[in-house]
Structure 1
Amino acid sequence: MKLISIKRETKPEVRFTPKMGALSVKVTYIKKQFLNIPFKTLYKYRETYYGEVKDCVNISLAK
């Protein structure tokens, strides 16, 4: 049994950009787990409408 593992999870989120407003994108999280309990997010990225992969630091959550 592995103590530390890495898991990738994709889920839809609503993001907000000043130019385009609110948009729904698929955000992929890469998380480090200890005994199947996630404790650290290593990286998160999103896929654009055109298929580009971008980092999630440039846009914020719409709430």
Structure 2
Amino acid sequence: MTSTHINLNFVTDIINDKRTPMKLINIKRKTQLEQRHTREMGVLTTNVTYIKKMLFNLIPLATLHKYRETYYGEIKDCEECVLAK
């Protein structure tokens, strides 16, 4: 009997929860270190930030935008400046 009572309390807590509901599609931003190569400079290690659309916060659906920050603090789009040719 107590287990049923606990389950009912759990259900009523979920119903009365005032937080935001779970979203199906979220936008996530992730920064990772990547190596880029050029003839003039050689290997360039830079932080590349990906903005992705995620399903249930687990499955990536699409990459919306990808950019990197230069040594001098400028932000450049990764599609504009292709370093590896």
Q: CA RMSD in A?
A: 1.4
**Going by fraction, where is helix more abundant, 1 or 2?**
2
Rg: which structure is higher?
2
Identity %: 61
Q: What TM-score do you get using the length of structure 2 for normalisation?
A: 0.66
Distance in 2 of aligned mates of 1:42 and 1:13:
18
Q: SS of 1:23's equivalent?
A: strand
Q: Which has the higher relative contact order, 1 or 2, with Cα contacts under 8 A spaced 6 or more apart?
A: 1
Aligned residue-pair number: 61
Give the 4+ runs in structure 1 shifted more than 6 A: none
In the other structure, the counterpart of 1:60 is: 84
**Going by fraction, where is strand more abundant, 1 or 2?**
1
Distance in 2 of aligned mates of 1:17 and 1:41:
24
